[in-house]
Amino acid sequence: MSEQSAHSVPQLFYIFALISMFYMAYNLRRLFTVQVGKPDNRSLNLLSQLYNSLSFGIGQKKVYSKRFTYASIMHFLIGWGFIELTFATTVDFFAAQGIFKEYLPGFDTPWFAWLNDTGGMMLIVGCMMALFRRHYIKPDILPQNNLSGRGTFLGDSGILFFLVFLSIGGFFTEAARLAVEQPPTAHWSWVGYLLSKLTTQANWVALKPYMWWGHAITSLIFISLIPMTKMFHVIAVVANVALTNRKKRGLLKSMNISEIMENPNADVENISLGASNVKDFSWKQLLDSVSCTECARCSSVCPATRTDKPLSPMKIITDIRTKLYSETMDYKKTDDLVGGLITETELWSCTTCGACMQECPVLIEHVPTIIDMRRHLVLSEGKPPVQANESLEKTMLNGNPWGFPKEDRLKWTESTDFKPPTLQEKNEVDILYWVGCAGAYDPRNQSVATNMLKILESADVDYAVLGKEETCTGDSARRLGEEYLFETLAKQNVETLNKYKFNKIVASCPHCMNTILNEYPDFGGEYKVVHHTELIEELISTGQLQTNYKTDKKITFHDPCYLGRHNKIFDQPRNILENVAEIENIIEMKESRESSMCCGAGGGNMWHEIDQGSRVNVERFEQAVETGADTVATGCSFCTIMMDDAMKVTGKEETMQVKDIAEIVGESIDHSV
């Protein structure tokens, strides 16, 4: 590095800087309001925390998205421009003190000078893009307050103007220094150098001290106000992503409610279950709310929001923050959280599809937070949705939300060519086929189960079913907030499964798969669980299953939320389709894979309907229609029902069909024989 002399900084500046830092530290109390929350017992790993901080925090990994191209470029310029200027300011501070001067670049070291000016211009251009977006091409869903509002000083536009003013002031301060000192490498500071030519050296000599002090004071004011402005997310986001366990992200926590209810010392009449106020959430959930940047990406992809339901995931999170600040920082008093700031209809509109969490750049976990409030409504207030309550009662009495007798679990096999063996008969098998409630009782999904038997038999798989011993996994009950019913079903199923020996469970319904795979371990149920598309792909790739016929139908695949976003199974269904259809006839919808739109049935919405806005399944089916496909393929019991219903509603029964992957493969087997 080039040698440099220490630049003199007035002692008065350090006094002002100390005052600025103290005021910033005082305002950082916002960050520590989350301490009122309950403990969060998820384990953290130091290396993972460091990776999260660097990649998702400083590196802004999830900010960059093709879906939000303009905003991604804008934030890249603002973020990295700000980071570069922070780096430059830190280097300048050490240089001014003569610390590490033999290792640090000088003010006029060519690469450092160029980098500083480039960073400043990036910040200015990014801020101007943001202002243009907010005032001329603003998405309707993006909140906007010009100079104040929503608990932030300077509002949305004011802070952007402040950053532009600060950056321009920095360039003029640099121009004055370059004009006075005239270093030989001045031209590397390409912006400041051009500005230095605007007037004479004598004028710059006179202006230099005013420029320096003006920029210094403005910078210190900015630092002191950071926690009060939208720039607070620079601090809160890094803390939030660092403390996020990405492996457990989105998973629902067990309440162990049966232990609570069976505790003889528990005050059952007055106990509060679920979350109805800020102290009922964990500190991590509260940190989620504090770190929300209000970018509105979550709401822009939410199927409920997009179909004019009252839910906005962003509003849910920011309402919690509003209530948190109201109770901990003496902000203006607000309504109650659940039933006040957040209505019951908002909570019941959520399909738990996970699109909000998929797009959130700061790793907020919207779905578990919403479920915690649903738990309060159901367990503490006894207020599930009226329509859904019927399915909960049927599940409680008969072990399935359709309400059919348990004894009829295998009745669907009476019309099939195959009679599946039960584990009670065989005791030990390679594959346990989990038929699911839909496969056993819903006429539309019985075809899927029948074709799965055909596939298993054709591939000579050693398998069995549970038959009458199988009961609902409790997926819908849990997501509807009925945790006690879910725990009862989970424990019953785990007790049944642990009686037998099998290598893995194969489920046709991603909801069943997700529950057994990711949630039953909390109840002693550790199993290898795969989706039927994973098994089918394996059987085809190993040659155990022959599919010699390819359909000439044009097919588009609808990614089920609990198969794709929640469990990252995207390729297997598509690989299967390439074996049973011509590749050129497989067409992707405009929203597919991680960006797939929900069918509308998740989160218990299969069993009740929000009578506001348009229907989610119809909007999704219209996307399938746009592809020109003849067949909508899927791999989920609920999706099959919802897409089939949308096909009928839109009058496409004569020209289109909805098929599960297993049905398409089953047809291929029939043609191959």
- At 409-429, the pLDDT tens digits run 999 998 888 889 999 998 899
Confidence of residue 270 (pLDDT cuts 50, 70, 90): low
Mean residue pLDDT of the chain comes to 90
pLDDT at 359: 94
Which of 81-95, 286-300, 448-462, 580-594 shows the lowest mean pLDDT across its residues?
A: 81-95
Distance CA 615, CA 654 (A): 21
Can you state the percent helix, strand and coil of the chain, rounding each to 5?
A: 60, 5, 35
SS3 state of residue 173: helix
Percent of all residues in the chain with a pLDDT value above 90, rounded to a whole number:
72
Q: What is the mean pLDDT of residues 588-607?
A: 94
- The reported pLDDT for the residue numbered 262 is 76
Specify the residue for token string 């300077």: 154
Dist. CA 373–CA 343, nearest whole Å: 10
By the 8 A CB rule, do 299 and 141 touch?
Answer: yes
Q: What is the rounded CA–CA span in Å between residue 664 and residue 631?
A: 10
Pairing of strands 463-464, 428-434: parallel
How many Å apart are CA 230 and CA 157, to the nearest integer?
Answer: 10
Is the per-residue pLDDT at 62 higher than 90? no
What is d(CA 517, CA 475) in angstroms, rounded to the nearest whole number? 12
Selected from 2.40.40, 2.60.40, 1.20.1740, 1.10.1060, the CATH number assigned to the domain covering 269-383 reads: 1.10.1060
- Dihedral sign for Cα 657, 658, 661, 665, please: negative
Domains 11-235 and 269-383 share a fold: no
pLDDT tier, 669 (very low <50, low <70, confident <90, very high otherwise): confident
Confidence of residue 335 (pLDDT cuts 50, 70, 90): confident
Is pLDDT at 507 greater than 90 in this prediction?
A: yes
CA–CA separation, 511 vs 231, rounded Å? 39
Identify the DSSP state of 59: S
Residue 269 has a pLDDT of 66
Q: What is the pLDDT of residue 1?
A: 34
Taken in order 327, 329, 330, 331, the sign of the CA dihedral is: negative
Task: Identify the H or E element spanning 502.
Answer: strand 501-507
Structure tokens at 603: 């989160």
Better-predicted residue by pLDDT, 588 or 149: 588
Mean pLDDT of 89-94: 79
DSSP 103-144: TSPPTT-HHHHHHHHHHHHHHHHHHHHHHHHHHTS--TTS--
**Model confidence at 498: pLDDT above 80:** yes
| For the chain, domain boundaries | 11-235, 269-383, 391-672
Residue 3 pLDDT grade (very low, low, confident, very high; cuts 50, 70, 90): very low
As a whole number of angstroms, the distance between CA 37 and CA 374 comes to 18
Residue 555, φ and ψ in degrees, nearest 5 = -125, 135
- CA–CA separation, 520 and 529 (whole Å): 11
Second-level CATH architecture of 11-235: Up-down Bundle (1.20)
How confident is the model at residue 103, as a pLDDT? 80
- Give pLDDT tens digits for 339-364: 899 999 999 999 999 999 999 999 99
Who wins on pLDDT, 650 or 144?
Answer: 650
CA distances from 461 to 185, 434, 452, 502, 663 (A): 75, 14, 11, 12, 18
What is the DSSP code (8-state) at residue 380?
I
